[in-house]
Amino acid sequence: MTGNYRKDPEAVSRLTPEQYRVTQKNGTEPPFRNEHWDNKEPGIYVDVVSGEPLFSSASKFDSHTGWPSFTAPIERGNVVSRRDFKMLIPRTEVRSAHGDSHLGHVFRDGPREAGGLRYCINSAALRFIPAADLEREGYGAYRKLFEPADDTGGKS
């Protein structure tokens, strides 16, 4: 993948009906019956339409809601928010910046120690790239997120 992310019409044409409903029609998938809600494997999640990096397993947590939940985007510039007034209570919708895919919503009930936000994201909007495949898939720059920290301070 390159850093030239965009809404790819070919990718849109390959979406499953559920992926299309969620990403293009602002849908919501059922809780606990989606691909990534309980995935604990290290890796990153990218937009199913544009391929732009969105979230890392390092910021994923179990919110007990049945949807993948994250404390922060992997690249803040790839996730945009806007007010959503479709329910009785106003919410904040999150979309991919370059693919314009509906991802889900962000709430202020996340882990306090990690900033207090919960990005509640539809699995149908995401493609998971395992840490072992990052280089091959063109996301090698994110490999460092999954390497052990060098706690020797540069001393051998």
Judged by DSSP in three states, 72 sits in coil
Say how many domains are in the chain: 1
pLDDT at 154: 53
**Residue range 10-59, pLDDT digits in tens:** 999 999 999 999 999 999 999 999 999 999 999 999 999 999 999 999 99
Is 148 inside a domain boundary? no
Catalytic, out of 79, 120, 124, 134: 120
Q: Is the residue at 75 inside a domain?
A: yes
Q: Is 155 exposed, middle or buried (CB count within 10 Å of its CB: 0-12, 13-18, 19+)? A: exposed
pLDDT exceeds 80 at position 153: no
Please indicate, yes or no, if residue 72 is contained in any of the structural domains.
yes
In a domain, 14, yes or no: yes
Here the CATH number for the domain that contains residue 54 is: 2.170.150.20
Buried b (16+ CB within 10 A) or exposed e, 63-81: beeebbbbbbbbbeebbee
Residue range(s) defining the domain that contains residue 23: 9-137
Q: Which residue has the higher pLDDT, 14 or 87?
A: 14
Is residue 22 in a domain? Answer: yes
Cβ-proximal residues to 40 (8 Å cutoff; 6+ apart), any chain: 57
Q: Considering the domain boundaries, does residue 25 fall inside one?
A: yes
| 141/14 Cα distance (integer angstroms) | 27
Active site (annotated) includes residue 126: no
Considering the domain boundaries, does residue 151 fall inside one?
no
Per the domain annotation, does 107 fall within a domain?
yes
What pTM, to 2 d.p., does this model score?
0.89
Radius of gyration of the chain (CA): 16
